[in-house]
């Protein structure tokens, strides 16, 4: 169920250059699944006006807390980064359809591929897959070492490989460079990151089952405004999908890349 | 006795608040959040004869206290709108105002004739003001004579009252308002968005794929209020006002300027419960003004 809630800031920590981890507490945590997102009102004024869609990184239903990780790049996220413990943040969520954890059977191996600020939702996904008895391999791509995060968390859950554009951490290059080097053996993949990465992944493993999480500029976040539509491939019954409400996670082959 | 009900041609409104066309889809998404029967009316997304795919993305861009959009009238076409979307809305006790768009007079006429027969469509909103499509839309709304002729043609076939949605992107909105009144319009809805553009800081090129987009949100409210104020003085048909409404005070402002009811657009994306919240706040606003019924404030700026 979608709720609009005034959530309380539990912690705000800078975890890498311009990358923040915000922990919020409130009831809407109870309905969250990995890969879903929240729509955050960053200011009480009209500046900035619109909500910001941010993916859910970690869910703790016992404590009623979740974390989101975001890059403080634009006006809205820079404003969000000023929130401190005890302050209130207006959150709409959880929104969209997350990763199908059930698609992986116990005993199988899942490849989790993340790029940049697409990495956070894979953490909760990896936790839930491991809890289900699914082995996870993580391949994470970043621009450079100073914007990498969650190394310990991912390493604790499974083999973790890095690619950075400048070679400052892990393999120099892209996640596909890691695929060539490591030749990971797996049954299905899950991914979140920039469009070129998702496209490369589909092309690399055409025979594998896979689930991709997309990003698009959003207005309402619930499917009413038609800002975030994507064309679909010929195989799909609909001409278009809305990233916010039909996605953001789609089985591979649905969205035209 | 209700203090906030409003009677308009074709429309028996429980309250003067309705979501604006294009900001509420066909209601399904917001129906997950609250009971749509609470609304005064719903202005559904623009409906055309055929399916429209809309413009390439990015389709939206944020601006100071507002946003630009160029969705491009994406909709599934009249057959699906009538067969699926309006059927769904029949489950709610709320009058529907069907926004009708087209690329030529014949399209408008056919859509208007068919959709006006749906049992829950109580009025049409003739969209002669969409700034985001190449053909049709705004070209009908910038020349008084063209606007008048289209209004006459649609009036001749519609089974329900016809409201005409005016564009602010004209030299004299009063001239257009008078023309559609002469054409037989039962009411006016105003304003549609203002044509604008935002540039990418890095490339210097427009952010929105369409280049231009329609500006909405709190930034446009003073323009909308001024235009409602002027049109109210010039015509004798009711006005449904809109443009940057976010709270009950904005509703009071629009009605003071001359609107009989008020539509809420962009604010639905910011506070998804804004319509029911405003409806609940109106009685206290009336108390503060010492007014018994909300209709008493319509046009009070002019008295």
Record the pTM.
0.94
* B50 interface with A at CB cutoff 8 Å: no
Cβ A217–B61 below 8 Å, yes or no?
Answer: yes
Cβ A4–B271 below 8 Å, yes or no?
Answer: yes
- Which residues of chain B make contact with A1, given a CB cutoff of 8 A? 32
* B69 interface with A at CB cutoff 8 Å: yes
* A109 interface with B at CB cutoff 8 Å: no
Helices (H), chain B: 28-31, 78-80, 86-89, 105-115, 144-157, 173-182, 221-234, 248-257, 267-270, 274-289
The dihedral of CA B174, B178, B183, B184: what is its sign?
positive
Tell me the nearest-neighbour CA distance from B144 into chain A, angstroms. 30
**Strands A88-95 and A65-71, sheet pairing:** unpaired
pLDDT of residue B136: 61
pLDDT of residue A237: 78
Q: To the nearest whole percent, how much of chain A has pLDDT over 70?
A: 100
For A12-38, b/e burial (b = at least 16 CB within 10 A) is beeebeebbbbbbbbebbeebbbbbbb
Cα–Cα distances in angstroms (integers) from residue B210 to residues A163, A212, B197, in the given order = 36, 27, 10
- Chain position carrying tokens 């889809």: B25
Cβ A227–B33 below 8 Å, yes or no?
Answer: no
Cβ A2–B32 below 8 Å, yes or no?
Answer: yes
- Chain position carrying tokens 């996904």: A125
| Candidates A73, A90, A226, partner chain B, best to mutate (most B CBs within 10 A) | A226
Which secondary-structure segment (H or E) carries B124? Answer: strand B121-127
pLDDT of residue B76: 94
Catalytic residue numbers of B read: 130
Q: State pLDDT tens for residues A36-60.
A: 999 999 999 999 999 999 999 999 9
* A4 interface with B at CB cutoff 8 Å: yes
pLDDT of residue B132: 67
How many of the other CB atoms lie within 10 Å of CB of A106? Answer: 9
pLDDT of residue A160: 97
Q: B230: which DSSP letter?
A: H
Write down the mean pLDDT value for chain A.
95
Rounded CA separation A53/A66 (Å) = 15
For B35-57, b/e burial (b = at least 16 CB within 10 A) is ebebbbbbbbbbbbbeebebbeb
Instruction: Give the max Cα distance, chain A.
Output: 51
- Which residues of chain A make contact with B271, given a CB cutoff of 8 A? 4, 41
Rounded CA separation B274/A109 (Å) = 46
CA end-to-end distance (rounded Å), chain A: 30
Cβ B60–A46 below 8 Å, yes or no?
Answer: no
* B276 interface with A at CB cutoff 8 Å: no
Residue B210's closest CA among A179, A227, A178, A150?
Answer: A227
Tell me the nearest-neighbour CA distance from B24 into chain A, angstroms. 5
* Residue ranges in chain B modelled with pLDDT below 70: 1, 131-137
pLDDT of residue B139: 74
pLDDT of residue A236: 74
> Is A175's pLDDT higher than 90?
yes
Tell me the nearest-neighbour CA distance from B128 into chain A, angstroms. 20
Q: Evaluate whether A148 touches A161 at the Cβ level (below 8 Å).
A: no
Three-state DSSP state, B158? coil
Q: Evaluate whether A248 touches A97 at the Cβ level (below 8 Å).
A: yes
**Strands A58-60 and A65-71, sheet pairing:** antiparallel
Residue B180's closest CA among B135, B122, B238?
Answer: B238
Rounded CA separation A200/A134 (Å) = 24
Tell me the nearest-neighbour CA distance from B159 into chain A, angstroms. 28
Residue B250's closest CA among B99, B65, B62, B31?
Answer: B65
pLDDT of residue A163: 96
* A238 interface with B at CB cutoff 8 Å: no
Q: Average the pLDDT over A146-169 and give the result.
A: 95
pLDDT of residue B129: 80
* A2 interface with B at CB cutoff 8 Å: yes
Nearest-by-CA chain B residue for A75: B62
């Amino acid at each position: 169920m979608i709720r609009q809630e005034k959530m309380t800031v539990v912690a705000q920590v800078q975890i890498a250059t311009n990358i923040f981890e915000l922990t919020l507490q409130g009831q809407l945590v109870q309905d969250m699944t990995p890969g879903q997102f929240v729509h955050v009102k960053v200011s009480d004024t009209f500046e900035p006006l619109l909500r910001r869609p941010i993916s859910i990184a970690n869910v703790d239903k016992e404590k009623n807390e979740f974390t989101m990780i975001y890059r403080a790049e634009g006006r809205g996220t820079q404003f969000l980064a000023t929130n401190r413990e005890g302050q209130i943040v207006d959150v709409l969520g959880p929104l969209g359809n997350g990763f199908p954890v059930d698609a992986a059977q116990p005993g199988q191996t899942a490849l989790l591929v993340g790029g940049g600020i697409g990495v956070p939702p894979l953490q909760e996904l990896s936790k839930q897959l491991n809890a289900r008895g699914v082995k996870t391999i993580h391949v994470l791509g970043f621009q450079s070492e100073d914007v990498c995060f969650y190394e310990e968390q991912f390493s604790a859950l499974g083999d973790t490989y890095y690619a950075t554009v400048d070679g400052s951490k892990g393999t120099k290059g892209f996640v596909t460079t890691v695929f060539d080097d490591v030749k990971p053996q797996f049954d299905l993949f899950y991914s979140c990151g920039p469009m070129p990465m998702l496209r490369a992944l589909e092309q690399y493993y055409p025979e594998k089952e896979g689930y991709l999480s997309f990003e698009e500029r959003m207005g309402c976040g619930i499917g009413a405004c038609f800002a975030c539509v994507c064309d679909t491939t010929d195989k799909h019954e609909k001409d278009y999908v809305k990233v916010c409400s039909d996605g953001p996670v789609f089985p591979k082959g649905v969205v035209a890349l | 006795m209700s203090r906030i009900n409003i009677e308009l041609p074709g429309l028996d409104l429980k309250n003067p608040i309705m979501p604006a066309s294009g900001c509420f889809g066909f209601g399904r998404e917001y129906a997950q959040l609250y009971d749509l029967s609470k609304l005064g009316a719903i202005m559904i997304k623009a409906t055309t004869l055929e399916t429209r795919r809309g413009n390439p993305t990015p389709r939206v861009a944020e601006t100071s206290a507002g946003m630009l959009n160029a969705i491009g009238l994406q909709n599934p076409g009249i057959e699906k709108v009538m067969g699926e979307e309006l059927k769904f809305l029949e489950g709610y006790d709320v009058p529907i105002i069907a926004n009708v768009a087209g690329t030529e007079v014949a399209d408008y006429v056919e859509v208007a004739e068919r959709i006006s027969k749906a049992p829950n469509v109580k009025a049409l909103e003739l969209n002669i003001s969409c700034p985001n499509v190449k053909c049709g839309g705004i070209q009908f709304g910038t020349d008084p004579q063209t606007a008048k002729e289209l209004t006459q043609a649609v009036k001749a076939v519609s089974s329900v009252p016809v409201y005409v949605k005016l564009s602010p992107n004209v030299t004299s909105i009063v001239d257009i308002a008078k023309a559609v009144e002469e054409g037989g319009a039962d009411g006016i809805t105003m304003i549609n968005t203002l044509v604008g553009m935002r540039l990418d800081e890095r490339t210097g090129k427009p952010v929105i794929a369409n280049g231009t987009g329609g500006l909405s949100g709190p930034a446009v409210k003073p323009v909308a209020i001024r235009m409602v104020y002027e049109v109210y003085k010039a015509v004798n048909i009711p006005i449904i006002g809109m443009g940057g409404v976010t709270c009950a005070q904005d509703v009071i402002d629009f009605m003071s300027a001359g609107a009989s009811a008020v539509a809420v657009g962009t604010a639905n994306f910011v506070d998804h419960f804004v319509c029911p919240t405003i409806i609940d706040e109106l009685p206290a606003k009336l108390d503060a003004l010492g007014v018994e019924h909300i209709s008493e404030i319509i046009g009070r700026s002019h008295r």
